[in-house]
Amino acid sequence: GAPDIAATTRQFLAYVETLLQLGLKVTVLPAAADYPDAHFVEDTAVVMPELAVITHPGAPSRQGEVDTIAPVPAGFRPLARMSERGHMDGGDVLLVDKQFFIGLTARTDEQGIREFAAAVEPHGYQVAAIEVSAGLHLKSIVNYVGRNTLLLTEGYVNHPAFSGFNSIVIPEEEAYAGNTLWINDTLITPQGYPYTLGEISKLGMPIVQLDTSEFKKMDGGLTCLSLRF
């Protein structure tokens, strides 16, 4: 069904409060009425210690969002900006230490990955492309949860790019819980996925469960709602 605005706002405010409780400084941007997906800010930029890369989102309706976002990371990092030749959503970009895993999806293409690699490799990062056959983004189905561990769906457990990690494999019926967020040695996970909750509990970290049911209706999750750096 369609998302409920009041419920969406409550869930967003609970998310912001959780980030604050975990010790982060949070900047909440004004509403961007022309861009109804703009609350999924992660897709518009990738921020690392050395620079911020402003992406060129794969959905034409979202490409104007980058102009509203770019001034914010520019206050913290030098900017690199992708051209309009390639496409990339930040939701396809998973960073673990100095290794980027980037999903090849309907929103992120090979040209976008090449441009991104050209921006980050001079800073010592490596880039690996991962073909994604299910889910909107790579981080819809694969996320790093600390302790050298990936939380992923069954289709990616034997992927050679992930061979150096421990894996927590979640069943397809709980695939949405793969979008779990690791912040300051605490895990934030969607509410209502008991198997995944039990498995990530074995990592021994504090866990916060949040209701993200309204964002799920929009193909969004916990990682989508913020740029973290």
| Residue 224 among the catalytic residues | yes
Phi, psi of 215 (to 5 degrees): -70, -30
Residues listed for the chain: 229
Tokens of 215: 């964002």
Measured CA to CA in angstroms, residue 69 lies from 75, 103, 146, 168 at distances of 11, 22, 28, 34
| Residue 39 among the catalytic residues | no
Q: Are 54 and 80 in contact (CB under 8 A)?
A: yes
80: three-class secondary structure by DSSP: strand
Q: What is the C-alpha separation between 91 and 108, in angstroms, rounded?
A: 9
Classify burial at 33, counting beta carbons within 10 Å of its beta carbon; exposed 0-12, middle 13-18, buried 19 or more. exposed
Tell me which of 39, 56, 87, 224 is the catalytic residue.
224
Q: What is the C-alpha separation between 54 and 116, in angstroms, rounded?
A: 9
Tell me which of 39, 56, 87, 137 is the catalytic residue.
137
Q: What is the C-alpha separation between 139 and 180, in angstroms, rounded?
A: 9
CB count in 10 Å sphere of residue 108: 30
Q: What is the C-alpha separation between 23 and 186, in angstroms, rounded?
A: 11
Residues that are catalytic: 137, 224
